[in-house]
Amino acid sequence: MVRIEEPRMKVWFSKTMLVMFLGVTTSGLTGCVGLGCGSLPPSLDSAERAKVKDAHLNLTVGVSTNAAGGGVVITQLRRTRLFDAVDYVDRLHHPPQVLAKWEATPYGTATIPVYTLLTLGIIPNTLPEPYSFGCSFYSPRDPERTVRVEYLYYSRTTLGWVAGFMALSPNIVLTLWRGPDEHARFSDHLSLAILNHSEEILNLTK
């Protein structure tokens, strides 16, 4: 029979209770730190807008069913409105001309805004946060033929009550309902990145 010494048991119990208390407190205070906002990507310049405006690739893009990140690929590519259709292969009415798969891209590191929590959002917390999307287009007949496309930018994310005032700027969006990577500006830049590889992507159908 293994015997647990009482002092060690008390220390373990105390640490466990402390971790649980901090977790519950953090979760509870998250709703009391104010709001969150993030800076948007820059607007396209005139030349970039001209390139993206009314651009279209006569392609149906398929995503393998149950592929990792498949839902993200479909959502982001649909937002560009560049393609005839984007969906899982088994949901398309016709075989896709090209396939696409998600590629891992940089993402932010989770942090606990201690001072913002302790001051209930009065002292804001600001940090750079990468927003990105990457995917590879590839040929259904030859999966080794791929074209990788990625868009990445660093947003300035702010947590605290001041975020509500900052979001009055057209260059900043509240993250309460959607992130900067769900904004039309992000889709514009992703569209531009895809169009910069349009010839290579179209060649995948040959």
Least confident of 29-38, 102-111, 134-143: 29-38
The answer to whether residue 7 scores a pLDDT higher than 70 is: no
Domains of the chain listed by start with CATH number = 33-203 (3.30.160)
Q: Could you tell me what percent of the chain has a pLDDT over 70?
A: 77
Q: Give the burial class of 21: count Cβ atoms within 10 A of its Cβ; 0-12 exposed, 13-18 middle, 19 or more buried.
A: exposed
The answer to whether residue 120 scores a pLDDT higher than 90 is: no
Model pLDDT, residue 178: 85
User: Do the beta carbons of residue 150 and residue 132 sit within 8 Å?
Assistant: yes
Model pLDDT, residue 108: 62
Model pLDDT, residue 122: 79
Least confident of 9-18, 36-45, 159-168: 9-18
User: Do the beta carbons of residue 155 and residue 129 sit within 8 Å?
Assistant: yes
Nearest Cα neighbor of 50 from 170, 195, 198, 199 is: 195
Instruction: Report the pLDDT averaged over residues 39-67.
Output: 95
The answer to whether residue 3 scores a pLDDT higher than 80 is: no
The secondary structure of residue 206, as a DSSP letter, is: -
Nearest Cα neighbor of 112 from 122, 99, 98, 127 is: 127
Which helix H or strand E contains 160, and what residues bound it?
strand 146-160
Using one digit for the tens of pLDDT, what is the confidence trace for 66-110?
888 999 999 999 999 999 999 999 999 999 999 999 998 766 666
The answer to whether residue 64 scores a pLDDT higher than 90 is: yes
User: Do the beta carbons of residue 18 and residue 145 sit within 8 Å?
Assistant: no
Banded pLDDT at 143 (limits 50, 70, 90): very high
User: Do the beta carbons of residue 41 and residue 48 sit within 8 Å?
Assistant: no
Model pLDDT, residue 54: 92
Model pLDDT, residue 9: 46
Provide the H-helix boundaries in the chain. 6-30, 46-52, 70-80, 114-118, 162-166, 184-195, 198-203
Cβ atoms < 10 Å from Cβ of 162: 17
Least confident of 30-34, 101-105, 173-177, 191-195: 30-34
Cα separations (Å) of 119 from 69, 112, 147? 37, 13, 48
Q: What pairing do the DSSP bridges indicate for beta strands 146-160 and 125-138? A: antiparallel
Model pLDDT, residue 118: 67
Residue 10 backbone dihedrals phi, psi, to 5 degrees: -65, -40
Cα–Cα distance between 109 and 194 in angstroms, integer? 27
Cα–Cα distance between 31 and 174 in angstroms, integer? 14
**Scanning the structure block, which residue is given the tokens 């947003």?**
155
